[in-house]
Amino acid sequence: MQDPFVCTPVSHHQCISNALDQAETLCRSRNVRLTPIRHRVLELIWQQHRPVGAYDLLEQLQQQGRVAPPTVYRALDFLQQQGLIHRLESLNAFVGCAHPQYPHQGQFLICKSCRSLVEITDPEISTVINNRAEAVGFKPLNQTVEVSGFCDGCWQKEQING
């Protein structure tokens, strides 16, 4: 259920192709079209393996010919609908979804220093939030949970350097 390997600088190419293979399989099984553009955008997002802005993607796409913003946003919309990427509201950016197989509420840990991101999928978090919402008579449909702070490595450095 989890990825069979941890993504390191060395194994990152594998991480990308894994994500793309998974996306292809999923789209085929759902009878939706992972067109060349959509595939390419997903690939670019996974290449970064961190939150990327739409215009960053646009710039990269433009290295192979003229592309306009709507093209990128449409691809992003599609990928989001398919659960292949998440949008980070606090960054106006997009990141590949680690577990696209099933729909879920992701929670995101965003490092202020290196801008890396970890997605956790903790049912307890979503449950507590939903419960509290319902307790005040609110019908929750979708959660945005984004935590800004320091990843392990950067937190060490912070403490040493002040």
- Which residues of the shown chain bind its own copies in the complex (CB under 8 A)? 89-90, 107, 109, 111-112, 118, 120, 122, 124-125, 128-130, 132-133, 136-152, 155
Say which DSSP state 52 is in.
Answer: B
Q: Which of residues 27-46 bind DNA (CB under 7 A)?
A: 32-33, 35-38
Alpha-carbon gap, residue 16 to 37, rounded angstroms: 16
Question: Considering only 64-72, 108-116, 129-137, 152-160, which stretch makes contact with DNA by CB under 7 A?
Answer: 64-72
Do residues 84 and 23 touch, judged by C-beta distance below 8 A? yes
Q: Among DNA, its own copies, none, what binds residue 114 when CB lies within 5 to 8 Å by partner kind?
A: none
Work out whether 66 is an interface residue with DNA (CB under 7 A). yes
List all residues 6 or more positions away from 149 whose beta carbon is below 8 Å from its beta carbon. 109, 110, 111, 112, 155
